[in-house]
Structure 1
Amino acid sequence: MSSADLSSGQPRISVVVPVHGVEAYLATCLDSILAEPYADVEVVAVDDASPDGCGAILDGYAARDPRVRVVHLATNVGLGGARNAGLAQATGEYVWFVDGDDWLPAGSLAAVRERLAATRPDVLIIDHAEVFPGGRVVPRPSAGALAGHATPLRLADRPHLLRLAQSACTKVVRRGLLDEAALRFRGGWYEDVAYSHPLLMAADRIDVLERVCYHYRQQPQGRITVTRSDRHFEVFDQYAAVFAAVDAAGGRHDVFRPELFRLMVNHYLVILGNEARLPDASRREFFRRMVLDHRRWLPAGGYAVPDGVTGLKHRLVERDNYLAWTTLRSVHRTLGRVRRGRTPSAPAPAAAATTPVPTVSTG
């Protein structure tokens, strides 16, 4: 046992790793966690009925390192269900969800453990970076998120924390908070939406570690953000769960309604405008669902409509004007081609791509 052992007074961390179809990346993920010799860190790896060799790889690691425990699921339950299964077996005071195709940069566990010991937050938000094929690394910092505020703090002190990445992987969470708030992952796509926002609203002590402690692999295959499917409609159920949590709080979370509403519309617009997600024939129906949610969840006191083109799109949703939205997207796409030096083609159909909105996760 190293000098950084249980006697250090640092809280025990359970790293929950859901695994499915990531055989090529799994060793990198596990090695990045186990490379730091802390006896008070456990890895709960969940084999979500992976069709490849992931199960055998996990068993091999467990045989060599007592910090690794493996849960084999008989049937595939999806990312949210696999995380829940790992959480049920976790024994640490804090839980960190790390996807099986991602990894932790060197020194991340040490930095996280030190910060947890110093501030004992309910939630520690960490910075992350996206790593693209070829090795290009793009940091996504939270710089300025806590400017002018001492930590830990409550979300009411800094509601803009809701604008940080929705990913569960960028939040190290006190296990007791998840039990106190009865918070688990929902099934379906965009499962982080109905986890991350209620988590931050429930927390009394939030801290931010402005250090890249997570590398998020950007791979073109297998990601829902590049999968054409009607399953993208599942995002509506995730946001319904978010606002149900607000409603159930008896007014305590009403202050967050405007920001949550703005983020919701932004997120819907990203999905609607991305030609790699929705089938063309489904776009009008998706827009109709956006309009219904706009009417259903619009805060009584309104909200801060974004500036520029994004704000214009918000207004088009408010006015249920799908035709104007398709025209705007066609013009925007044509102008984009001109800026890139390409010859403009005929106006694009309704499936034209949109520019991602930077204040909302597109996952």
Structure 2
Amino acid sequence: MGALLTVVVPVYAVEGFLLACLDSIRAGLSPQENADVEVIAVDDASPDRCGALLDTYAERHGGLRVLHLPSNVGLGPARNAGLAEATGRYVWFVDSDDRLPPGSVRAVLDRLRRSEPDVLLVDHLREHEDGRLETDASSPLLAGPPSLDRLLGVQHTAWNRIVRRGLLLENQLRFPAGWYEDVPFSNPVLIAADRIDVLNRVCYHYRIGRPGAITATRSSRHFEAFDQYDALHHWLDRVGAAPAVRSRVFTLMINHLMVVAGNDSRMHPSCRRPFFRRIAELYRRHLPAGHRMPPGAAGMKHRLVAMNSYPLYAALRAGYRLAGLRSRSTQRPPAVSRSIPSMPQPVQTTSLR
């Protein structure tokens, strides 16, 4: 029998984090568990020593297949290259600057054997540059019986979902080129799945704020998110997604793009107005019939987008930022705490169609 799980690790300019990532994948596995795991690292023409580190690691440790791409293709196509070589029944895309806490792969293997889902969602912690660990705002959505409406709100990344490889092949789901490559992939795998399971256990540490990371880089390339969301909606059209699903995805899309628009680490002030206008265009282009705006502050932002009113949005944003600064200046610094991974929960696989 072949591997149960293929871990695909795209590699580019992460020399200082790569070995820790690779070590974390197989840490503590028994010989049988090792046999159930295939690891494929894809050197995306990395400009540093990553390619040599991968070759040395494969020679010394074994159990690692290394693909060296002749030229840099970007994160999405690099993942696709690893997927094309995968033989495991399931695929887990792990970014090479992140790491898996001890016991993660064992817990994932156990749950995959027990529930045999199309997609297994896992929890994660956000790891800051100083080592501080933080629970993600979407993590509470993993609690309770699986519900597609709720799980669509979980952070939409490739690395927090382990996917049956056959599901990707059957639905021709691949990563596009460009930034925000997770957008046309992460929600479609949930929508296409018949059986989704949740392992409500921290199985991933996501590094944030790393210099060079997309989420910490000011660039006009953040505008590529609009093409990725157009691709997502074309997919929804092609599969005839239910109105409730389309409305949920639409709301999440606007929420996400508004976060990008307001993020100083990503958006130069000179780009914020044209980015907002592009959100308004996307809003009009993909507004579902019968869509209801969310309540509260999110709904207010949606209304401003629907009106294409950047001056009001800018005033609202300035007010929120001023209120936040005043609040932080009057509060004592919070104590730093580390979240403890929860124990595996009972199998909660359900049919979501």
Count the aligned residue pairs.
325
Measured in 1, the distance between the counterparts of 2:274 and 2:254 equals 15
Measured in 2, the distance between the counterparts of 1:58 and 1:281 equals 41
1:84 maps to a residue whose letter is N
Query: Per the alignment, do residues 87 and 248 of structure 1 end up closer, same or farther by CA in structure 2, a change over 3 Å counting?
Result: same
Structure 2 matches for 1:224-303, cutoff 5 A? Answer: 224-249=214-239, 251-303=240-292
Identify the range of structure 1 (272-281 vs 161-170) with the bigger mean alpha-carbon deviation: 272-281
The residue number in structure 2 matching 1:50 is 46
Cα contact 2:141–2:154 (8 A) shared by 1: no
Measured in 1, the distance between the counterparts of 2:267 and 2:126 equals 24
The residue number in structure 2 matching 1:339 is 327
Cα contact 1:143–1:210 (8 A) shared by 2: no
TM-superposed deviation, 1:30: 0.6
TM-superposed deviation, 1:223: 1.5
The residue number in structure 2 matching 1:197 is 187
1:290-340 Cα offsets, whole Å, 9 max, x none, are: 11111111110113x233222211111111111111111122222222222
- Whether 2:308 is the aligned partner of 1:320: answer yes
Q: Which residue among 17, 22, 31 is the counterpart of 2:9?
A: 17
Cα contact 2:118–2:164 (8 A) shared by 1: yes
The residue number in structure 1 matching 2:82 is 86
1:248-281 Cα offsets, whole Å, 9 max, x none, are: 01x3443311101100110111111112212222
The residue number in structure 2 matching 1:66 is 62
Partner SS state of residue 123, structure 2: strand
Measured in 2, the distance between the counterparts of 1:57 and 1:11 equals 24
TM-superposed deviation, 1:33: 1.1
TM-score (norm 1): 0.86
The residue number in structure 2 matching 1:173 is 163
Measured in 2, the distance between the counterparts of 1:82 and 1:55 equals 14
1:118-174 Cα offsets, whole Å, 9 max, x none, are: 010000000111111222111337345452x3xxx6xxx531111001110001110
Cα contact 2:178–2:224 (8 A) shared by 1: yes
Query: Per the alignment, do residues 131 and 88 of structure 1 end up closer, same or farther by CA in structure 2, a change over 3 Å counting?
Result: same
Measured in 1, the distance between the counterparts of 2:301 and 2:192 equals 31
Cα contact 2:261–2:267 (8 A) shared by 1: yes
Partner SS state of residue 267, structure 1: helix
The residue number in structure 2 matching 1:354 is none
The residue number in structure 1 matching 2:124 is 128
TM-superposed deviation, 1:103: 0.9
1:18 maps to a residue whose letter is P
Cα contact 1:11–1:116 (8 A) shared by 2: no
Cα contact 1:316–1:322 (8 A) shared by 2: yes
Query: Per the alignment, do residues 335 and 143 of structure 1 end up closer, same or farther by CA in structure 2, a change over 3 Å counting?
Result: closer
Query: Per the alignment, do residues 144 and 271 of structure 1 end up closer, same or farther by CA in structure 2, a change over 3 Å counting?
Result: closer
2:197 maps to a residue whose letter is D
Q: Which has the higher contact order (CA 8 A, sep 6+)?
A: 2
Cα contact 2:141–2:153 (8 A) shared by 1: no
Cα contact 2:180–2:225 (8 A) shared by 1: yes
Cα contact 1:288–1:320 (8 A) shared by 2: yes
The residue number in structure 1 matching 2:26 is 34
1:230 maps to a residue whose letter is S
Measured in 1, the distance between the counterparts of 2:230 and 2:61 equals 42
Measured in 1, the distance between the counterparts of 2:211 and 2:228 equals 24
Percent identity between the aligned chains?
52
Partner SS state of residue 105, structure 1: coil
Cα contact 1:146–1:158 (8 A) shared by 2: no
Q: Which residue among 300, 304, 307 is the counterpart of 2:295?
A: 307
The residue number in structure 1 matching 2:206 is 216
The residue number in structure 2 matching 1:142 is 139
Identify the range of structure 1 (22-31 vs 61-70) with the bigger mean alpha-carbon deviation: 61-70
